[in-house]
Amino acid sequence: MRRDVIDTLLVANRGEIACRIFRTCREVGIATVAVYSDADADALHVREADLAVRLPGSAPADTYLRGDLVVAAALAAGADAVHPGYGFLSENAAFAAAVQDAGLAWVGPPVKAIELMASKTRAKELMAGAGVPLLAPVDPAAAGEGDLPLLLKAASGGGGRGMRIVRELQALPHELREAAAEAASAFGDGEVFAEPYVERGRHVEVQVMADRYGTVWALGTRDCSLQRRHQKVIEEAPAPGLDAALRTRLHEAAVAAARAVGYRGAGTVEFLVSAEGRPYFLEMNTRLQVEHPVTEAVFGVDLVALQLRVAEGEPLPAPGPPQAVGHAVEARLYAEDPARDWQPQTGALLALEVPEAPGLRLDTGYVGGDTIGVHYDPMLAKVIAHAPTRPEAVRLLARALERARIHGPVTNRELLVRSLRHPDFAAGRLDTGFYDRHLADLTAPGAGDPGVAALAAALAEAARATRSPGPAPARFGAWRNVPSQPQVKRYRSEPAGVEYEIAYRTPRTGTPEPHEAPGVRVLAATPDRVTLELDGVTRHFSITTDRDRDRRRLHVDTAHASYTFTALPRFTDPATHADPGSLLAPMPGTVVRLAEGLAAGAAVAAGQPLIWLEAMKMEHRILAPASGTLTALHAAPGHQVEVGALLAVVQEDLGPAPATEENA
């Protein structure tokens, strides 16, 4: 038995997955090497590695996607193996070959297996030969009404890029062009194929692990149906509600797929399961999946450790996997605003603290004090809960997220908590259209009381003011035998934008109290903690203040909710409002394309996509706010823009003025 001992491992990745792989390396005694772009110079994965090598530049195409630079970094640092993580070069056969050609061990599947599964069209042909159930492809040129709805997919790559649902035949040519353009931009390959779209289908996958001696494990199922923009949000293992026959069929199909390509290492075979319980092969991911921790929790294994073991030439420790125990659920915490078309958010992350408890796990590439930039995926962390039963795991995860302290950019934390507590999720009624149906309800104003949180913020600021040193009080002439006028503070909640005006007084006791707030009694007030009695119930509020450029923000954490407020001046500045019809960049990013024929003077329709902006691995459409004329265009493909940058101006067509006695 040949064994290639790994002493030093370079992880060709960044963020959360690099930190997660480093954790296993520390446990098994392997030295670690990080690579980093200029934007990641002070990132957590760089700080946690034993050695780090700079990749000049910030854009992925100049850094983490440059296989030649990564291989050179491994050789320069004295590494003897490379782990690709997920994303970037993890499923790039040429990179895997280059690593091995340089004399380094590759912690991944054989190059041939990557090549065979790299194209979804070729992979489906191969799986058909192996007897794996498939959706029959549809020729877009010959598609008819009976073939609708159709799903267009990029032949290379994933993550929802280049994917479109077509429900009307006349829209097919346009959607084909759009899908091909996005696929070419994201993967350098504009090939797109079509297949039937399965309504209310479930995304179910099987984790496989194989060694070079013919042993292939099927480590249960995972359900990843809760997705936004075809990207996963909540995953769990095992997939709930599958009968024994279907689970067996999925396991056997996954093992057959792995054997068909001579697979080795960790991989995932993904299926679409129809509402009637029929499974169809989607693709095989020849890498570690983001959601692998739920499988680790249920089976009590370390998949990265097994990857390293297989890469060193050792067999899997048993002919079959361990026995599964309990249930695990994972939530992806993103810096994004679900209520505003999932817009990614950037800025300083002031706090990221998840409660510690048995059964909870946090995988992250960030800590408080880090900055969330514009170049990479907006995922902050994965929070995983494992318990004996599904209801217990779901409850544990929802409560952990609810109690977490997350200060900084807007996140999807509240959406995650509400999703986990939604009746359909609790009952296991899962499918990929979950957010299409429920997003409005899941992002509606919460049941908490932001007004009381704003009051706590005002009292904390008042307590800080009373403790701050200031000029000595006047000795004569300052005493009045009348009550003083209440002080007023104004706040705007984020991201809802609701404004609150809080009136309070500070009596001789020094403890501020609300002005005319029946049922509220202040028990204690300090700059960072306020305790109120509300209708006989004692509640605690933790307050953290920070300054972001020229604004002051206050973060209020309670036992059941968290709130962020921006302190407002007493009087608003009318100069802060943009001119009507101005299209501003909602986030920093790169203009990737414009609507066909778009130029100053063009007529546009309300809701028409005009500009496509790419930020943090997602494309965002800038729509015409009204029907009218494009009077100015300041965007062009390739332009880097900052948040708030003026992209274009649309002058609304108001139509003829209504007839009056004066203009008749």
Reference 272, options 147, 136, 134; nearest CA is 134
**Judging by DSSP bridges, how do beta strands 405-407 and 487-494 pair with one another?**
unpaired
The CA-to-CA distance between both ends of the chain, in Å, stands at: 97
Those residues whose C-beta lies under 8 Å from the C-beta of residue 292, and which sit 6 or more positions away, are: 207, 266, 303
Q: What is the pLDDT of residue 617?
A: 63
C-alpha of 664 from chain center: 57
Reference 393, options 255, 607, 240; nearest CA is 240
C-alpha to C-alpha distance for 134 and 283, rounded to whole angstroms: 10
Reference 606, options 650, 656, 540; nearest CA is 650
Q: Are the beta carbons of 329 and 235 closer than 8 angstroms?
A: yes
Quick one: DSSP state of residue 540? Answer: E
Q: What is the pLDDT of residue 660?
A: 42
Those residues whose C-beta lies under 8 Å from the C-beta of residue 519, and which sit 6 or more positions away, are: 534, 535
Phi then psi dihedrals of residue 294, to 5 deg = -70, -35
Reference 98, options 78, 53, 126, 68; nearest CA is 68
Reference 545, options 460, 481, 468; nearest CA is 460
DSSP codes, 440-462? HHHTSPPSS-HHHHHHHHHHHHH
**Judging by DSSP bridges, how do beta strands 589-594 and 351-353 pair with one another?**
unpaired
Q: Are the beta carbons of 23 and 307 closer than 8 angstroms?
A: no
Q: Are the beta carbons of 24 and 308 closer than 8 angstroms?
A: yes
What six digits make up the tokens of 125? 């042909």
Residue 187 has a CB neighbour count (10 Å cut-off) of 17
Q: Are the beta carbons of 209 and 306 closer than 8 angstroms?
A: yes
C-alpha to C-alpha distance for 51 and 49, rounded to whole angstroms: 5
Burial call 273-285: b when 16+ CB within 10 Å, e when fewer:
beeeeebbbbbbb
Reference 207, options 144, 129, 301, 125; nearest CA is 301
pLDDT tens-digit map of 289-310 = 999 999 999 999 999 999 999 9
Burial call 106-121: b when 16+ CB within 10 Å, e when fewer:
bbbbbbebbbbbbbbe
C-alpha to C-alpha distance for 313 and 581, rounded to whole angstroms: 63
C-alpha to C-alpha distance for 508 and 516, rounded to whole angstroms: 18
pTM of the model: 0.84
**Judging by DSSP bridges, how do beta strands 150-154 and 164-166 pair with one another?**
antiparallel
Instruction: Sort 634 into a burial class: Cβ within 10 Å, 0-12 / 13-18 / 19+.
Output: middle
Altogether, the residues listed in the chain come to a count of 664
C-alpha to C-alpha distance for 228 and 432, rounded to whole angstroms: 8
What six digits make up the tokens of 371? 């900055």
Reading across the β-sheet that carries 562-568, which strands appear in turn? 513-514, 499-505, 487-494, 562-568, 551-557, 537-548, 529-534, 520-526
Q: What is the pLDDT of residue 246?
A: 96
Q: What is the pLDDT of residue 588?
A: 76
Q: What is the pLDDT of residue 267?
A: 97
Average pLDDT of each block of 10 consecutive residues along the chain (664 residues)?
Answer: 82 98 98 97 98 96 96 98 96 97 98 90 83 84 87 75 86 88 76 86 97 97 95 97 96 94 96 92 94 98 98 96 98 95 92 97 97 92 98 98 96 97 97 95 85 95 77 45 74 90 89 88 95 95 85 93 90 54 83 88 90 77 89 87 85 62 38
Phi then psi dihedrals of residue 207, to 5 deg = -80, 130
Q: Are the beta carbons of 641 and 588 closer than 8 angstroms?
A: yes
